[in-house]
Copies of this chain bind each other. A is one copy, B any other.
């Protein structure tokens, strides 16, 4: 049973997919039944890493979606539009969709899922998070017995590369970013990566699957690494931590016992104890730690980006659709497999961040006077913020001191109140850095 594949986009990922389909030997035998029938490109004349018959190519992506020989539409063009419209067009035509487009899924996932449910087609998105790491399908198909307590991940390779080098070399953020751009690990406009937006897209998707409900992407508190100073990475190391850009989605107790799941979802640089499973994830690798009852902690690790890994995930999705097509071959309009389709099954709501509790790392620039630590400690104490450690670090400039405080798990509102009081102290020149701590 040959299955016709239509490809929207022939960039690095698209070329990777085409390359796999063209070389089925040694892969799962279903790969040999996938037939690439139409490919939408921007420019017909560009040289490509993969050889394709000229008649496959078109500059009209709608022609790919509409082609009756195309059974599955694979969207790897990226960007919000026309990707979103093309996905919806494929669904409307009753064609299953595979997409690597985290931005579209994070923003229009509800719209797309509703359309897919109505038409009874699958929209699979393994490549949208974690590159080649199987994480979407395991969340959908292997962890359903669990009450998920927390999903936390290093899910942006660019920032992890930058942070790994900052930690290894004591280098400044701007220098490493420039180097990463030169090496192709960071884009010319790095904003989506370094400001945390890409990680927020991905945690919105993971949280939606882990908790069975749509998460409002725009409401996710997001902090990037673009204001992170090398000294905080160095101080963290001295205190036994590494700094990672963590995306976290955590279940909160719902006090009014509604069916609604309260979630604390956020993206921010985070101090991880060196023994934490995510602390050793370096370079462009990604890892996602899922904590659930009764499974405990499971972690998924691997290359978070790149043509090969991402294409591996895209083709896995195509194979899953091909597999279920075989299983339902006798049926004209078969019902969806609820695990593979992964529809919403409860409402999720983000908590007010003031109500969340976290451990915090705070770096204060103060005058080097006796009694400063006492005054700072008093401010924390009066706000009900209990402290794990206060350490004074030496600075270059005479008369100044740097004090690093690590708190216990404290209520965000109390912590902010303490910081306001500390900022008002005459001896405190600035709250120079404030990071979350696991």
A337 interface residue per 8 A CB criterion: yes
Alpha-carbon separation in the docked complex, A421 to B336 (Å): 66
Alpha-carbon separation in the docked complex, A329 to B141 (Å): 19
Partner of A16, one of B142, B294, B314: B294
Taken together, the copies of this chain in the complex come to 2
Is A294 a contact of B309 with CB atoms below 8 Å?
yes
Q: Which of A280-323 contact B (CB under 8 A)?
A: 280, 292-303, 306-309, 311-316, 319-320, 323
Partner of A293, one of B137, B280, B308, B313: B308
Alpha-carbon separation in the docked complex, A42 to B422 (Å): 66
- Given the complex, which residues of B lie within 8 Å of A144, measured CB to CB? 27-28, 30-31, 315-316, 319
- Given the complex, which residues of B lie within 8 Å of A298, measured CB to CB? 132-134, 300-303
A143 interface residue per 8 A CB criterion: yes
- Given the complex, which residues of B lie within 8 Å of A337, measured CB to CB? 323-324, 326-327
Alpha-carbon separation in the docked complex, A210 to B117 (Å): 33
Question: A319-355: contact bitstring with B at CB < 8 Å (1 yes, 0 no)?
Answer: 1100110111111001111111000010000000000
Contact size range, A? 35 or more
Is A296 a contact of B301 with CB atoms below 8 Å?
no
Is B326 a contact of A327 with CB atoms below 8 Å?
no
Is B297 a contact of A299 with CB atoms below 8 Å?
no
Is B345 a contact of A335 with CB atoms below 8 Å?
no
Is A302 a contact of B297 with CB atoms below 8 Å?
yes
Q: Which of A375-424 contact B (CB under 8 A)?
A: none
A20 interface residue per 8 A CB criterion: yes
Alpha-carbon separation in the docked complex, A26 to B294 (Å): 12
Which of A294, A299, A312 has the most C-beta atoms of chain B within 10 angstroms of its own C-beta? A294
Alpha-carbon separation in the docked complex, A300 to B392 (Å): 40
Which residue of B has the minimal Cβ distance to A21?
B145
A212 interface residue per 8 A CB criterion: yes
Q: Which of A1-51 contact B (CB under 8 A)?
A: 16, 19-20, 26-31
A277 interface residue per 8 A CB criterion: yes
Is A31 a contact of B134 with CB atoms below 8 Å?
no
A126 interface residue per 8 A CB criterion: yes
Q: Shortest beta-carbon distance, A145 to chain B, in Å?
A: 3
- Given the complex, which residues of B lie within 8 Å of A142, measured CB to CB? 126, 134, 137-138, 313, 316
Which residue of B has the minimal Cβ distance to A281?
B277
Q: Shortest beta-carbon distance, A325 to chain B, in Å?
A: 9
Alpha-carbon separation in the docked complex, A330 to B330 (Å): 9
Alpha-carbon separation in the docked complex, A293 to B309 (Å): 8
A182 interface residue per 8 A CB criterion: no
Is A308 a contact of B326 with CB atoms below 8 Å?
no
Q: Shortest beta-carbon distance, A424 to chain B, in Å?
A: 44
Is A29 a contact of B330 with CB atoms below 8 Å?
no
- Given the complex, which residues of B lie within 8 Å of A137, measured CB to CB? 137-138, 141-142
A356 interface residue per 8 A CB criterion: no
Is A328 a contact of B328 with CB atoms below 8 Å?
yes
A358 interface residue per 8 A CB criterion: no
A227 interface residue per 8 A CB criterion: no
A59 interface residue per 8 A CB criterion: no
Which residue of B has the minimal Cβ distance to A297?
B302
Is B20 a contact of A316 with CB atoms below 8 Å?
no
Q: Which of A195-212 contact B (CB under 8 A)?
A: 212
Known: A133-B298, A297-B303, A300-B298. A339 touches B312 (CB 8 A): no
Alpha-carbon separation in the docked complex, A16 to B312 (Å): 35
Which 6 residue pairs of A and B lie closest in terms of their CB atoms, listed nearest first?
A294-B308, A28-B144, A145-B315, A298-B302, A134-B142, A323-B339
Pull 30 A–B residue pairs with CB atoms less than 8 Å apart, ordered by A. Answer: A16-B294, A20-B145, A27-B145, A28-B212, A30-B339, A134-B298, A137-B137, A141-B316, A141-B319, A142-B313, A142-B316, A145-B311, A145-B316, A280-B280, A293-B308, A294-B308, A294-B309, A295-B308, A295-B313, A296-B306, A297-B302, A297-B303, A299-B299, A299-B302, A301-B301, A326-B335, A326-B336, A327-B328, A327-B336, A328-B331
Extra inter-chain contacts (5) besides given A16-B294, A292-B312, A327-B336, CB under 8 Å:
A132-B298, A142-B313, A146-B312, A295-B313, A296-B308
